[in-house]
């Protein structure tokens, strides 16, 4: 019995690792046109949020179904974020060219803005994957969660920023990081985030439960 149990655990673990590998490859392939990164990320979160709840089914079918259903909204969201990100980068670089006084002050301000821009980016695609809402409302909810769930926000930002910075540390780390990002990197970070988001999203799930209870009482 002990060996059978161990075999079962090992096989399930190997199965999940394989699923994460295939999901990462799907994300990379579907993100190659660049403009589709938003839809690809939403599809990855759609599957991964079920994955951490042990609710995943056929990952290929689920991924492409979510990719198709959320394509328009996720693409618009991605283009908005990309535009703000480009504008932030230009302003940050300009601030760095200014004098030590005002330049340093502006860079601190832009770093704070950059933190919240990254935080909103981290939240907005899983929100799109999990809930149906207007784009403006999704941005609003992402910003609210960034502040209301600051400890979780900090943790997710640190995980992402640390992975990127370590990858770009030098030429050697970049060469090692590229195949890791292609095979497992993105799905691993999304998996970690999805575990944390299970707790974050309890805010909305409790509201849904309370609404259902009220409707049942009124009936």
Q: Which residues contact 77 (CB under 8 A, 6 or more apart)?
A: 38, 124, 125, 128, 135, 138, 139
- Residue 213 falls within a domain, yes or no? no
Residue 177 lies in a domain: yes
**Does 42 map to a domain?**
yes
Q: Which structural domain range is residue 150 located in?
A: 2-208
Check if the beta carbon of residue 145 is closer than 8 Å to that of residue 123. Answer: yes
How many domains does the chain contain in total? 1
8 in a structural domain: yes
Q: What is the C-alpha separation between 50 and 25, in angstroms, rounded?
A: 18
- Whether 95 maps to a domain, the answer reads yes
Per-residue pLDDT of the chain (219 residues; tens, 9 = 90+): 454 555 576 777 787 889 899 999 999 999 999 999 999 999 999 999 998 887 766 889 999 999 999 999 999 999 999 999 999 999 999 988 887 788 888 999 999 999 999 999 999 999 999 999 999 999 999 999 999 999 999 999 999 999 999 999 999 999 999 999 999 999 999 999 999 998 898 866 665 544 443 344 344
Domain membership flag for residue 170: yes
pTM for this model (two decimals) = 0.86
218 is a domain residue: no
3-state SS, residue 170: coil
């Amino acid at each position: 019995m002990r060996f059978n149990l161990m075999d079962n655990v090992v096989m399930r673990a190997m199965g999940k690792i394989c699923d994460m590998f295939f999901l990462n490859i799907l994300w990379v392939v579907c993100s190659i046109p660049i403009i589709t990164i938003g839809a690809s990320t939403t599809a990855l979160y759609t599957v991964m949020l079920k994955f951490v709840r042990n609710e995943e089914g056929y990952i290929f079918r689920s991924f492409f179904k979510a990719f198709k259903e959320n394509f328009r909204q996720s693409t618009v969201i991605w283009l908005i974020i990309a535009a703000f990100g480009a504008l932030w980068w230009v302003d940050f670089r300009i601030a760095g060219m200014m004098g030590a006084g005002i330049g340093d002050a502006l860079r601190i301000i832009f770093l704070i803005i950059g933190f919240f821009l990254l935080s909103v980016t981290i939240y907005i695609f899983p929100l799109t994957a999990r809930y149906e809402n207007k784009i403006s409302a999704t941005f609003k909810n992402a910003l609210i969660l960034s502040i209301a769930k600051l400890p979780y926000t900090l943790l997710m930002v640190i995980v992402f920023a640390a992975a990127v910075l370590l990858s770009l540390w030098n030429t050697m780390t970049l060469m090692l990081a590229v195949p890791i990002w292609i095979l497992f990197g993105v799905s691993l970070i999304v998996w970690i985030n999805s575990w944390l988001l299970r707790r974050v999203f309890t805010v909305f799930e409790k509201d849904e439960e309370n609404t259902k209870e009220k409707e049942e009482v009124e009936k």
